[in-house]
Amino acid sequence: MRRLGVTPWYLPLVLLSSFLITPAARAQEEYSRLEIGAQFSLIRLLDASGDAQTHTGFGARLGLNLTRRLTLESQLDFFPGHASPFLQQQGGHALQAVFGIRGKVIQSKHFAVYGLLRPGFIHFEKVAIFSATLPLTFTTRPATYFLVNLGGGIEFYPTPRLITRFEISGNPYAIRNFTAPAASGFVTRPGEITDHFGISVGVGYRLGALRENPPETEISSRLEFGPQFTTLIVERESALDGVRTEPGIGGFASYNFFPFFDVDAAVNFFPRGTKSSGVHDGGDIFQGLFGIKGGIRRDRVGIFGKVRPGFNSYSQAVTGVLQISAGPPPVLKNLFGRSTNFVLDLGGVVELYPTRHTTLRFDLGDTHIYFATKSFVSSTGSVISVPGGQRRHSIELSVGYAWRFSGPPR
């Protein structure tokens, strides 16, 4: 399977917008409860040679404004071009549907800057699969994959009802393990987490009565911490495991050190072991993340982008092979040890403040995993250097509860 290897530009856009927030910005004066729109979209998929190729499409969206900053939004895009078929990854026409949250980080009378956190799916018309009989060839079939739309954009208001919009996004999606015919020589194939880069340009219209925006109340928070439940959709290194959904528990903490910016950290433990181990990955996972969360807190809602470097530490990676007896046949035993690798968590956070001192937190992100070069000791005692390979994507979703403390005024 080939990877697009797209650089996630969407998060820097959202975080950069936080620098532009000023108390003097004049808020948009009117809004309506319902918005509709249409857009022209571009996504990057693979061509027959494995290089990235642009595919054009079109679609529509519907938004329900919960507050002046927070919108529940759905979007549907159709890409009529024929993507090259790759094994279980892509092929033919594509249809993408997402539903989630659009949150305005900056809002003025004439424009707004926003972030997107929208789960959904991508459907391909003709992905490549193995034929069921010999001689072994390839055929095609439809396939649908879980996807997360992470990005940001800017919209302008030429009139009280008209909206123009430009946005960019990264779209990681999960290709599950699949069964191959016995004639292929194996029964299962490991899946992967891949992604594509997207751009969208559109127009919208506010339906119904226009309402005047009420004044906003700023929420004060100096320190917050609490437990969280986390789900990690990740590609394990062993072909016997492939893509799995790893449930985990942990905790998080945020400290507001500058207006609109928090130091943000989390630790998570994913207790499930693996069927087999590789040189970089195996056993359970201990994860630590530490970085920056940037955004605003207004009217019981917080909207943030996050950039958090950290590590995934695997408890049972293969470190070598020990020969117990010469045989014949020789008896070998695998040696195991901990393998720690760099990760980068990019995504967004939405917080709700039901009371003065509590927080409900929802995280959604693409946690990039960078396997490092590892040493492997062979049965003869020689040390072999095993390269780490290219970046891997993983989709991480977290729900947490925190206690919040305002602290003395600055």
Q: What is the pLDDT of residues 119-156, one digit of tens each?
A: 999 999 988 877 766 666 778 889 999 999 999 999 99
Q: In this predicted structure, what is the pLDDT of residue 262? A: 95
Smallest CA-to-CA distance from 230 within 252, 253, 249 is with: 249
- Pairing, β 301-325 against β 285-298: antiparallel
pLDDT band for position 265 (50/70/90)? very high
Distance, CA of 78 to CA of 207 (rounded, Å) = 24
Residue 73's alpha-carbon distances to 62, 211, 381, 397, in angstroms, are 6, 19, 59, 19
Would you give the distance in Å from CA 210 to the centre of its chain? Answer: 35
pTM of the model: 0.86
Q: Hey, which residues does 46 pair with through a beta bridge?
A: 52
Model pLDDT for residues 45-93, shown as the tens digit of each residue: 887 777 888 999 999 999 999 888 899 999 999 999 888 888 788 888 9
Answer with the one of 161, 185, 215 that is the final residue of a domain.
215
Looking at residue 409, what is its pLDDT?
A: 53
Give residue-wise pLDDT tens across range 149-183.
999 999 999 998 999 999 999 999 999 887 666 55
Q: Does residue 9 have a pLDDT over 50?
A: no
The whole-number average pLDDT for the span 38-51 is 87
pLDDT in tens, 295-348: 999 888 999 999 999 999 999 998 888 877 776 777 778 888 899 999 999 999
In the predicted structure, residue 6 carries a pLDDT above the cut 70: no
Burial class (CB in 10 A: 0-12, 13-18, 19+), 407: exposed
Residue with the bigger pLDDT between 245 and 379: it is 245
How do the residues of the chain divide into helix, strand and coil, expressed in percent and rounded to 5?
A: 5, 65, 30
Tell me which H or E stretch contains 18: helix 10-19
Residues 291 and 210 placed together within one structural domain of the fold:
no
Residue 60 sits in the same domain as residue 175: yes
Average pLDDT of the residues in 27-39: 82
Domain that holds residue 304: 217-410
Q: 254 and 378 share a domain? A: yes
Of 197, 215, 233, the domain-final residue: 215
Nearest 10 degrees: CA dihedral of 282, 288, 293, 299? 90
268-295: average pLDDT:
92
Residues 186 and 232 in one domain: no
Is residue 30 pLDDT above 90, yes or no?
no
Give the per-residue pLDDT at 182. 57
Q: Is 296 found in the same domain as 280?
A: yes
Q: Which of 199, 215, 231 is the last residue of a domain?
A: 215
Q: What is the pLDDT of residue 28?
A: 52
Give CA–CA dist 38/140, Å, rounded.
Answer: 31
Instruction: Kindly report, residue by residue over 225-238, the tens digit of the pLDDT.
Output: 999 999 999 988 88
| pLDDT of the residue at 273 | 87
pLDDT confidence bin for 188, thresholds 50/70/90: low
Percent of the chain clearing pLDDT 90 (strictly above) = 54
Average per-residue pLDDT in the chain? 86
Q: Residue 295 sits in a domain of what CATH number?
A: 2.40.160.20
What pLDDT does residue 10 have? 44
- Co-location of 81 and 230 in the same domain: no
Q: Do 203 and 225 lie in a common domain?
A: no
Total number of domains in the chain: 2
CB 27 within 8 A of CB 108: yes
Angstrom distances, CA of residue 134 to CA of 86, 126, 131, 255: 20, 21, 8, 61
| Residue 336 in tokens | 């195991």
Instruction: For CA atoms 194, 200, 204, 210, give the dihedral sign.
Output: positive
Considering the domain architecture, whether residues 58 and 202 belong to the same structural domain is answered as: yes
Determine the pLDDT at residue 241: 84
Cβ(98)–Cβ(74) below 8 Å? yes
Query: Can you give the pLDDT at residue 278?
Result: 86
Amino acid letter for position 68: R
| Other CB atoms within 10 Å distance of the CB of residue 229 | 14
Q: What is the mean pLDDT of residues 338-359?
A: 93
Of the candidates 295, 323, 366, the one whose C-alpha atom is nearest the C-alpha of residue 148 is 366
- Same domain for 278 and 162: no
248 and 205 share one domain:
no
In this model, does residue 19 exceed pLDDT 60?
Answer: no
Question: How far is 396 from 367, CA to CA, in rounded Å?
Answer: 7
pLDDT, residue 385, reads: 86
Classify each residue of 340-361 as buried b or exposed e, where b means 16 or more C-beta atoms within 10 Å of its C-beta: ebebbbbbbbbbebeeeeebeb
| Band (375; pLDDT cuts 50, 70, 90) | confident
Joined tokens for residue 17: 């917008």
Nearest by Cα to 301 from 349, 265, 343, 269: 349
Residues 6+ apart with CB under 8 A from 224: 253, 254, 359, 402, 403, 404, 405
Do 275 and 241 touch, CB atoms closer than 8 A? yes
Same domain, 164 and 300: no
Same domain, 85 and 194: yes
